[in-house]
C-alpha cells in the first residue's frame, strides 16, 4: 500500500504543476517549493523542534505551544512548515517564536530524508489532522519523538475504515496524541491506540492571550465612538447577499463592520455597489473626523481580530462552503456568533450551538429570525459566551506539562 501511496503523491504533485498554469493558488503552491532545500539555514548546537501546520488555523493552534516552549528554552530551534499558501503567506501576521518557516516539500521518501536529515528534529508535532506518511515514517526512523496536537478525528476519516490499514499504521508511529475531545479519544481507542490525553483546543488559549494584549484601534474608535457594532467577519459572497439586504432594510439596526474574506478592489466594489446606506472604507478613515456612516468596510488585512472588541454580535463567514472561519476570535470578546450550516468539521461550532451561544442558519429567513432577537437577550448571551471561552482555557498547559515529563 505504501507503493500506491507514493504513486498517488507523485500524481498529486503532477496535477498541481499542471493546475499552476491556470490557477493562482496552485501556482503559489508550486513556486513556493522551488529550490526550497537551498533556503534551509545551518543549525549549530541547537535542538530542533518541528511543527507542521496545514494552514493558518493550525498555526494558531500550534502557536501557544511554540511560544511556551521557546520561553522555557530560548535556545530551541523552532521549524514550522505549511502545506497551504494561505498559511505560509500570512503567518507573519502572528506574533510567533519560530526560527524558520517554509512550505512542506511534497511528501516523497527522498524529500522526507532531505528535510529530516538537514534539521534532525528531536521532537515533531503534527497539528490537528495533517498526517504525511513519508515524513512521519522518516522522522520516526531518525529517532524523533512524534506528537499530534489539537488532534481531531471523525468516523469518516480513512483511519477508521476497513480498508484503512495503511493509514492506521501511520498513526501507530506517533508517541502521543493530544486530542480536542472525547469522541476523538474514543475513535483512537477503537483502533487500539491508547496513548492520548484529552486537552481541548489550544486556540482558546491563543485568543485569551490575544485579548490580554489587545491594542485599541484609533481609526475604529473614531468611526464608532462609544457604539458597539454588528461585525461581519471573513464573509464570502454567499454570506454577504442576505446580510447586505438586512443592512439596507435596517433589520440590522446597529452600525456594521464588514470584513470580507477577499479584500481585492473588485470585491470591495461589489459590496459597495449593493449597499444602499452610507459607508466608509477603513483605508479612508482618519482620527480627526467624527463619522456617522452606517457601514465600515475593512478593505485591508489585519484589523479583524482587533475589530471584534468593538462588537455586539458577529456573523462569521465560510459556513456555506464548509470552510467556517475562526469563531473563537469574536467569542473571546463575548460576541454570540452566527454562521452557515456546513460546520461538521468544526467541533467548536457544535460546542457553541450546544451552549446556546452559536447559531447555525441555512436560509435568509433563519438569519432574519436571529437578527430580530431582542438586544436584552443578546446582552445575556454575551456574558454566557465570555464565561464559556474562559472555561475552555488550559489546553496548552496540559500539553506543556506532559512534555516536561518526557525530558
Span 97-119, pLDDT tens digits: 999 999 999 999 999 999 999 99
Instruction: Classify 376 as helix, strand or coil.
Output: helix
What is the predicted pLDDT for the residue at 406?
85
CA-based R_g, the chain, Å = 22
**pLDDT tens digits along 246-285:** 999 999 999 999 999 999 999 999 999 999 999 999 999 9
* Inter-residue contact 91 to 51 (CB < 8 Å): no
Find out whether 247 and 277 touch, Cβ atoms under 8 Å. Answer: yes
Query: Given pLDDT bands bounded at 50, 70 and 90, which one contains residue 17?
Result: very high
The predicted pLDDT at position 129 comes to 87
For 85-104, the DSSP string reads HHHHTTGGGS----SEEEEP
Instruction: List the beta strands (DSSP E) in 152-298.
Output: 176-179, 196-198, 229-235, 256-260, 279-281, 295-297
Crossing angle, helix 133-141 and helix 2-19, to 10 degrees? 130
Query: So what's the pLDDT on residue 91?
Result: 87
Q: Which of 91, 41, 99 is nearest to 70 (CA)?
A: 99
Q: Which three cell numbers stand for residue 61?
A: 493552534
Using CA atoms, how far apart are residues 364 and 13, in angstroms rounded to an integer?
A: 41
Q: What confidence score (pLDDT) does residue 407 get?
A: 67
Q: Using 50, 70 and 90 to split pLDDT, how confident is the model at 232?
A: very high
Reported as a single tens digit per residue, the pLDDT across 119-168 is 999 999 999 988 999 999 999 999 999 999 999 999 999 999 999 999 99
pLDDT value, residue 282: 97
Q: Confidence class of residue 79 from pLDDT cuts 50, 70 and 90?
A: very high
**Overall average pLDDT of the 368-392 stretch:** 94
Given a contact cutoff of 8 angstroms between Cβ atoms, the answer to whether 51 and 82 are in contact is no
Contact 316/233 with Cβ under 8 angstroms?
yes
Query: Cα(371)–Cα(35) distance, rounded to whole angstroms?
Result: 51
Q: What's the average model confidence in pLDDT over 77-95?
A: 90
Nearest Cα residue to 236 out of 269, 265, 271: 271
pLDDT digits (tens, 9 = 90+) for 280-338: 999 999 999 999 999 999 999 889 989 999 999 999 999 999 999 999 999 999 999 99
| CA angle, 180 then 378 then 242, to 5° | 85
- pLDDT band at residue 92 under the 50/70/90 scheme: confident
Question: Can you give the pLDDT at residue 31?
Answer: 94
Hey, what's the cell of 47?
A: 535542538
pLDDT for the residue 302: 84
Contacts (Cβ under 8 Å, ≥6 apart) of 302: 93
Ordered by where they begin, the domains of the chain are 40-201+394-405 (3.40.50.11720), 215-391 (3.40.50.2000)
**What DSSP string runs through 266-327?**
HHHHHHHHH--S-EEEGGG--TT-----SEEE--STT-HHHHGGGEEEEEES-TTTT----S
Query: Position of cell 478593505?
Result: 299
**Alpha-carbon 217 to chain mean position:** 23
Within 13 Å of residue 256, how many CA atoms lie on the same side as its CB? 26
Q: How far, in Å, are 119, 130, 147, 177, 404 from residue 173 at the CA level?
A: 19, 14, 9, 11, 21
Dihedral sign, CA of 332, 334, 339, 343?
A: positive
331 closest CA partner among 354, 305, 350: 305
Q: Which residue has the cell 447586505?
A: 244
- Determine the Cα–Cα distance for residues 85 and 28; give it in Å rounded to an integer: 6
* C-alpha span between 294 and 325 (Å, rounded): 24
Distance CA 224, CA 280 (A): 12
Beta bridge partners of 295: 256, 279
Amino acid at each position: 500500500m505504501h507503493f500506491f501511496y507514493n504513486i498517488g503523491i507523485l500524481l498529486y504533485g503532477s496535477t498541481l504543476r499542471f493546475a499552476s498554469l491556470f490557477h493562482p493558488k496552485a501556482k503559489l503552491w508550486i513556486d513556493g517549493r522551488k529550490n526550497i532545500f537551498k533556503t534551509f539555514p545551518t543549525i549549530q548546537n541547537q535542538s530542533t523542534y518541528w511543527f507542521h501546520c496545514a494552514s493558518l488555523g493550525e498555526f494558531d493552534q500550534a502557536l501557544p505551544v511554540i511560544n511556551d516552549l521557546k520561553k522555557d528554552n530560548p535556545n530551541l530551534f523552532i521549524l514550522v512548515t505549511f502545506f497551504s499558501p494561505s498559511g505560509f503567506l500570512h503567518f507573519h501576521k502572528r506574533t510567533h517564536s519560530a526560527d524558520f518557516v517554509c512550505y512542506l516539500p511534497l511528501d516523497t521518501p527522498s524529500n522526507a530524508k532531505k528535510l529530516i536529515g538537514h534539521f534532525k528534529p528531536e521532537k515533531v508535532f503534527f497539528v490537528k489532522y495533517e498526517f504525511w506518511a513519508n515524513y512521519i515514517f522518516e522522522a520516526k526512523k531518525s529517532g524523533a519523538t512524534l506528537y499530534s496536537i489539537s488532534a481531531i478525528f471523525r468516523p469518516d476519516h480513512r483511519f477508521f475504515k476497513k480498508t484503512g490499514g495503511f493509514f492506521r499504521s501511520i498513526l501507530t508511529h506517533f508517541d502521543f496524541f493530544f486530542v480536542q475531545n472525547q469522541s476523538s479519544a474514543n475513535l483512537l481507542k477503537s483502533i487500539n491506540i491508547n496513548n492520548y490525553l484529552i486537552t481541548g483546543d489550544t486556540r482558546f488559549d491563543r485568543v485569551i492571550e490575544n485579548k490580554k494584549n489587545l491594542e485599541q484601534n484609533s481609526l475604529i474608535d473614531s468611526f464608532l465612538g462609544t457604539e458597539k457594532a454588528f461585525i461581519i467577519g471573513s464573509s464570502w459572497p454567499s454570506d454577504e447577499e442576505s446580510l447586505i439586504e438586512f443592512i439596507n432594510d435596517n433589520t440590522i439596526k446597529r452600525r456594521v463592520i464588514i470584513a470580507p474574506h477577499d479584500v481585492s478592489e473588485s470585491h470591495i466594489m461589489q459590496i459597495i455597489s449593493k449597499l444602499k446606506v452610507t459607508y466608509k472604507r477603513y483605508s479612508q478613515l482618519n482620527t480627526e473626523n467624527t463619522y456617522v456612516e452606517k457601514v465600515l468596510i475593512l478593505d485591508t488585512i489585519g484589523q479583524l481580530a482587533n475589530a471584534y472588541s468593538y462588537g455586539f454580535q458577529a456573523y462569521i463567514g465560510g459556513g456555506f462552503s464548509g470552510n467556517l472561519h475562526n469563531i473563537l476570535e469574536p467569542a473571546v470578546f463575548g460576541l454570540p456568533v452566527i454562521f452557515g450550516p456546513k460546520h461538521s468539521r468544526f467541533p467548536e461550532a457544535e460546542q457553541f450551538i450546544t451552549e446556546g451561544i452559536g447559531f447555525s442558519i441555512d436560509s435568509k429567513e433563519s438569519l432574519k429570525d436571529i437578527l430580530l432577537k431582542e438586544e436584552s437577550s443578546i446582552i445575556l448571551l454575551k456574558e454566557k459566551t465570555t464565561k464559556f471561552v474562559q472555561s475552555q482555557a488550559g489546553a496548552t498547559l496540559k500539553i506543556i506539562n506532559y512534555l516536561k515529563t518526557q525530558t
